[in-house]
Structure 1
């Protein structure tokens, strides 16, 4: 019977699309969140949450490029739905500015690790 599907109840789960880029022919399944500043490739099927600052592509969509590494780490710490499998193209050797930036980031991470250790010690007492 034509149109039979319209007579049954429909159930849906909201999707959240933050400020990001979605081109044509993208399918986003119910309950998925696409993070801020992310890009979804043409024709992708997004089945799981997309962290902020990433490029995803494929069926199912997978992270193929990290635009903003700090945003992805925050997403994972906040309990993102899946562990990310990230593959990055080979990048030429880092210049002096890149090394300074990496050192600053490493120092921030060391401070964060120290704070987490202190908090865990306090909780164990």
Structure 2
């Protein structure tokens, strides 16, 4: 089964092709109202730990190691349950993972997309 998962910044306007819109950041994005976000779900339990997020600081050079550490975190029970929820959503139709990161291509949402779709980095 092929799943349709895309990654977008929460600051972009919603698109008809988004399907279910899920915020995967632990912190609520600055300057975005709940109405403007047009979320179906806020899955903060799938987000990286505060410690990992602070260590990473969205440094592009750290992304490969961040992705590896994050995949390990996703195996713990709390993260695994949240990931299972995302898998179930992805199985029902298009899913858009939203993040406030300036570069969504080096965000946790990108790692999740690769995991959900089986895509390579």
| Range into which the TM-score falls when normalised by the shorter chain | under 0.3
Q: Indicate the structure whose relative CO is greater, using CA pairs within 8 Å and at least 6 residues apart.
A: 2
TM-score by length of 1: 0.25
TM-score by length of 2: 0.25
